[in-house]
Amino acid sequence: MKKVTNPIRTAIVRKVVDENYRVKTIELECDLPKALPGQFLMVWVPGAGEKPMSIGNSNPLTISVANVGKVSGELHELKPGGMVSFRGPLGKPFNIPERAKCILVVGGGYGVVPMYFLAKVARENKIDTLAVVGAKTAKDIVWEKQLFTVCKEVFITTDDGTRGMKGNVLAEAQRLIEGKKIDSVYACGPERMMEAVARLCMQHNVPCEVSVERYMKCGVGVCGSCAIGGKLCCVDGPVFSAQEALSFPEFGKAHRDASGRRI
């Protein structure tokens, strides 16, 4: 019998953590050993819909969800013992160059979630990780404690100076790229931030990858909703090299909504 490549799986919720006023972390009674940092799940809530969510940890499988709509709203209602259904892991992961000794991860807002997973895997491979975390204000910082457990150093910036350095991640990232021997850089967060990090790395000739987000529907390269440049976020991404991301005319400039209209 022919097998289904991407079956829907259902796992039991082990733990729900309130990260802040809008983000909850959901840990499942399930490991996903095949999942790699940068990959995502299509999370299905029957009756509400299906949305892509980045993987924060594969063991135990963990996602972090901001309450922004119908699907995430339902996920926020979950208690231990509840059910989460998903397809995945999907998409292309981050790549760490061979013989890398030290990488830099830059996370904006809850973009730090997949960065924790990347730093954890780097640490398992005896690679040091430096992290720059950016947020609007102190209460928007998530997964800080987890990052400290897997990173060599963590630098925090907030737009209003309520935590860490006042300002955005770019100045800190630049200081580290110029001051330390960094083999590659990874960014996940608001697109303008990633665009700036990508340009910075291109200028300094440091390999860089960014995690791009687009309105996604099928998640498996068929429907075309998440098109960017001539590529699809779901199967060609969500991780793109800085060079490729910067070659997309829309990167940092325009998104599309559920109907495909440019916004």
Partner 1 sequence: MASLECAFFKKRIKNPIILASGVLGMTKGSLEAACENGCGGVIAKSLTLEPRKGHDGPNIVETECGLLNAMGYPNPGIESGLAEFGGWARDEALIISIVGKDAGEFGQLAARVEEAKKTLGASAIEAAISCPHTPGYGTMAGQGTPESIKEITRAIKDKCSLPLIIKLSPSIPGEGKAAKAAEDAGADAINMGNSLGPGMKIDLARRKPILGFGVGGLTGPAIKPIIVRAVHDIYRSVKIPIIGTGGITTGEDAIEMMMAGASWVSAGSAVYYRGPKAFGEIAKEMKAWMEGNGVKSLPEITGCCP
**Residues near partner 1, by CB under 8 A:** 1-8, 10, 42, 44, 46-51, 70, 83, 85, 217-225, 227-232, 235, 249, 256-262
Work out how close the CB of 78 gets to partner 1 at its nearest, in angstroms, rounded to a whole number: 14
Sheet with 239-241, side-by-side order of all strands: 165-166, 153-158, 128-135, 102-108, 184-188, 208-211, 239-241
Nearer to partner 1, 6 or 243 (CB): 6
Amino acid identity, position 109: G
Would you say 110 and 63 are in contact if contact means Cβ atoms under 8 Å apart? no
Give min distance, CB of 127 to partner 1, in A. 31
Q: Is 21 exposed, middle or buried (0-12, 13-18, 19+ CB in 10 A)?
A: exposed
Least Cβ distance, residue 71 to partner 1 (angstroms): 8
CA distance 110 to 144: 10
Q: Which of residues 3 and 126 has its CB atom nearest to partner 1 in the complex?
A: 3
Q: Cβ of residue 6: shortest distance to partner 1, in angstroms?
A: 6
Nearer to partner 1, 50 or 140 (CB): 50
- Closest to partner 1 by CB, 10 vs 243, is 10
CB of 228: closest distance to partner 1 in angstroms?
A: 8
Residue with smaller CB distance to partner 1, 197 or 227:
227
Min separation Cβ 113 and partner 1, Å: 21
Minimum CB–partner distance for residue 262 and partner 1 (Å): 8
Complex with partner 1: residue 50 or 172, whichever CB lies closer:
50
Q: What does the block give as tokens for 165?
A: 């350095």
Instruction: Name which of 132 and 228 has its Cβ closer to partner 1.
Output: 228
